[in-house]
Amino acid sequence: MTHKIAVLPGDGIGPEITEQAQRVLGALGMDLEMTVAPVGGAAYDLHGHPLPPETLSLAQGSDAVLFGAVGDWKYDSLERHLRPEQAILGLRRAMGLFANLRPAILYPQLANASTLKPEVVSGLDILIVRELTGDIYFGQPRGVRTVEEGNFAGERQGFDTMHYAESEVRRIAHVGFQAAQKRQKRLCSVDKSNVLETSQFWRDIMIDVAREYPEVELSHMYVDNAAMQLVRAPKEFDVIVTGNLFGDILSDEAAMLTGSIGMLPSASLNASQQGLYEPSHGSAPDIAGQDKANPLATILSAAMLLRYSLNAEDQAKRIEAAVASVLEQGLRTGDIYEDGCQLLSTSAMGDAVLKALR
């Protein structure tokens, strides 16, 4: 069976890093049909829109999307709906990508890259599952109004609305439990149920869904405590599942535990396992076109693509083992370079991963 992959390189370092991930996917001996299309600023330059209809329908008709990065200062003066970043929002909306998976893995060889003590973070391997399409970010009503009565009567007031529907919580709960099943079978649901009604509801649903996954151990933690535990003892976590607002903050905090933005993959999934896979970093216009960027986050995103959209766990593990082997050999791009290691270009790092795969 042929698997269809839409490759959307985007802007800045996007084309350089997706090229290396494509080479790695192509070397696995699988039946993959990879089709490249423009997105972001590159698509605006060609077609006047960051997400042209042809690119969107290619993505929708594929099993998975491998995405590079979008954005460049030169598009900052465009109207908001034409900016490169709108392409990601458009893809999320059109494909119904409601679950964001961000692993924070710190390879022992890179333990010095973290600002935390190596013994606290070395070997860290956690996965944050963040709900992506609901919560206070999208809740209505929202806006600025004039307060009618009480202490602040007559003043202007900004307001937003936090809510989660039962089906929204259930589907992200299932993603969290199923991800935990593939790992150490421990799921920590993060909320603020001591203060927020929405969070108490979230917690009740998590407990209900847990009955379908008796082999997974469910725990609960308030978000303020989770923020502390992530820097105190991050290795205590396996999978964290949380809402859009808390997940936004905690996933960035977890990413920074590793200290190496060029190493972090991510996935956004919908209910039919279609997904968009991209590095957690941006388009790095400062080093674009110089063959300096670290392609490993994109190569590891390709591994996630195999795991979550193509159900090819063995091939995902092959790629991850090849990346670990390259690091073990002391091969580094500039962003993760340390004394005593060998400095490689983007393409040479791709070559090294291909060699390790074989």
Q: Is 252 a catalytic residue?
A: yes
Residue 332 bridge partners (DSSP): 343
Window 274 to 333, contacts with ligand NAD (CB under 6 A): 278, 281-287, 293-294, 297
Q: Work out whether 72 is an interface residue with ligand NAD (CB under 6 A).
A: yes
Catalytic residue, candidates 164, 191, 192, 238: 192
* Total residues in contact with ligand NAD, by rule CB under 6 A: 21
The reply, when asked if residue 103 is annotated as ligand binding, is no
Window 240 to 269, contacts with ligand NAD (CB under 6 A): 261-262
Q: Work out whether 223 is an interface residue with ligand NAD (CB under 6 A).
A: no
Q: One symbol per residue from 12 to 51: x for binding ligand NAD (CB under 6 A), - otherwise; what is it? A: -x--------------------------------------
Instruction: Kindly give, in sequence order, each residue whose CB lies less than 8 Å from that of residue 208, ignoring residues fewer than 6 positions away.
Output: none
CB of 50 to ligand NAD, least distance (A): 11
How many Å separate Cα 99 from the centre of its chain? 9
- Nearest residue to 206 via CA among 248, 216, 238: 216
Greatest alpha-carbon pair distance for the chain in Å reads 71
Q: One symbol per residue from 80 to 99: x for binding ligand NAD (CB under 6 A), - otherwise; what is it? A: -----x--x-----------
Q: Work out whether 135 is an interface residue with ligand NAD (CB under 6 A).
A: no
The reply, when asked if residue 109 is annotated as ligand binding, is no
The C-alpha R_g of the chain, in whole angstroms, comes to 21
Instruction: Kindly give, in sequence order, each residue whose CB lies less than 8 Å from that of residue 119, ignoring residues fewer than 6 positions away.
Output: none
Alpha helices (runs of H) in the chain, residue ranges in sequence order: 14-26, 41-47, 53-60, 86-95, 118-121, 166-181, 197-210, 223-232, 244-258, 296-308, 313-328, 346-357
Q: Work out whether 7 is an interface residue with ligand NAD (CB under 6 A).
A: no
Q: Work out whether 102 is an interface residue with ligand NAD (CB under 6 A).
A: no
Residue from the set 69, 91, 175, 310 that interacts with ligand NAD by CB under 6 A = 69
Q: One symbol per residue from 181 to 210: x for binding ligand NAD (CB under 6 A), - otherwise; what is it? A: ------------------------------
Other Cβ atoms less than 10 A from the Cβ of 75: the count is: 18
- Nearest residue to 99 via CA among 252, 267, 324: 267
User: Distance between CA 72 and CA 54 in Å, rounded?
Assistant: 22
Residue from the set 71, 103, 247, 275 that interacts with ligand NAD by CB under 6 A = 71
Closer of 70 and 188 to ligand NAD (Cβ):
70
The reply, when asked if residue 203 is annotated as ligand binding, is no
Q: What share of the chain is helix, strand, coil (3-state, %, to 5)?
A: 45, 20, 35
The reply, when asked if residue 191 is annotated as ligand binding, is no
Q: Are 191 and 246 in contact (CB under 8 A)?
A: yes
CB of 316 to ligand NAD, least distance (A): 20
- Nearest residue to 39 via CA among 244, 297, 276, 291: 276
Catalytic residue, candidates 137, 160, 235, 337: 137
Q: Calculate ∠ Cα 260-107-176, nearest 5°.
A: 85
- Specify the amino acid at residue 151: N
The reply, when asked if residue 286 is annotated as ligand binding, is yes
Cis before 38 (ω within 30): no
Q: Is 308 a catalytic residue?
A: no
Closer of 134 and 279 to ligand NAD (Cβ):
279
The reply, when asked if residue 351 is annotated as ligand binding, is no
Chain residues in the site for ligand NAD (CB under 6 A): 13, 69-72, 85, 88, 261-262, 278, 281-287, 293-294, 297, 335
Annotated binding site for Mg(2+): 224, 248, 252
Q: Which residues are catalytic?
A: 137, 192, 224, 248, 252
